[in-house]
Structure 1
Amino acid sequence: MRALVAVAKGNENIATFFTTASSVVNIIGASCKRRDALREQQQKYIMKALQIDDLETGQGLNQETTLKRPCDTRWNSHYDTLLSINTMFHPVVKVLEWIVDDVNQDNLGEANRLLEEIQTFDFVFHLYLMRFILGITNDLSNALQKKDQDIVNAMMLVQRCKQKLQSMRDDDFDDLLSKVSIFCGNNDIDVPNMDDLFVPQGRS
């Protein structure tokens, strides 16, 4: 029973995360003015990072991008959404702050709620976790969509995907947690003490 409750709670958290991510894309993409503001903030962020040598440079890198809108029927679109939010996290925060501070803007309450939600360890953890998982399944999905795919090769791809997910569960979780903590530190997001005693809510 406890396992079922844990799974249900985990699914609820993931669903909430995707709803929040989708809402961020929708509220910033609601007007040309907001999209222009995001583009401007992204350019400022890139220039500042280049000045302090904190950004990898090279052909095809640091190109102008935008937030990708997810599609309910295509999971690879959710992967693109998470990649864009991860890449543009700082500009996204700046635009949401601008919406909240501008009394002439619509959706002030929604923008304020999203601003608080995305600047939490929980959101960033789900962002990295789901980006990692969807990155693995996205490669599999793209490969299986090829017209010349044969069943033997398809089964090998599925097996390889399962191995990567198992490896992440067994060996790569600490590395994932480290990346989340570094990201939170760079964006002034509080990281909880993992050694603290956790007391679940509700009845024992």
Structure 2
Amino acid sequence: MGEVESGKGLNQELGLARAANTRWGSHYKSFNNFISMFGSITDVLDTIVVDSESVEEKAKATGYLKKEQDIANAILLVKVVKKRLQDLRNEGWDSLIENVSAFCVKYDILIPNFDEFYVNFGRSRCKVAEYTISHHYRVEVFFKIIDWQLQELNDRFNEVRTDLLIGVACLNPVDSFSSFDIKNILRMTELYPDDFGETVMVTLRNQLETYIVDVRDVDKRFSC
């Protein structure tokens, strides 16, 4: 688009590279580049929504352009989803079978005898398993799908990433930094031991305590 100067090394400086896990500086560089290129990024996403032939790409681009959930609220929603999935795993099987059975009766679909042994219809020959049809669909299908979904959420929102997101959410300046929480911010800095040593952490706590008194009670410019 002519908005980014090209040349050897220049594109790398403004690229949206994946941030390293243990260096805060790499995160800062990624965020800074993202801010610098924000206008171009949204233009590209708009173009994808209009011109892309892929329905999946259109849907992803549309999702990125929508207003994001507050980080703290998003983390809460992730916990809610995990809880509902776990409840479904523990207590949802019987109601699912009732609904499936009712559907089969309504549309005259044969319902298997769940107490019979499961038969694996492979390519070469049929093989009778040592477990029932009920066990197969409950353990090998129902549980596995839910476990896969839970594992996916745990991988994307593990403890470290969750602590990082909560720490970032604490820096929200809305309502005179009402979300500010020193404990969560310090926990976020603990994730970057190469950048925040023990002495720096002591100094940082004192600076944070001074800062929040300033923005909440002293400097009236933050209340505007």
Structure 2 length normalisation: TM-score?
0.26
Bigger Cα Rg:
2
Higher strand share: 2
TM-score, normalization by structure 1: 0.28
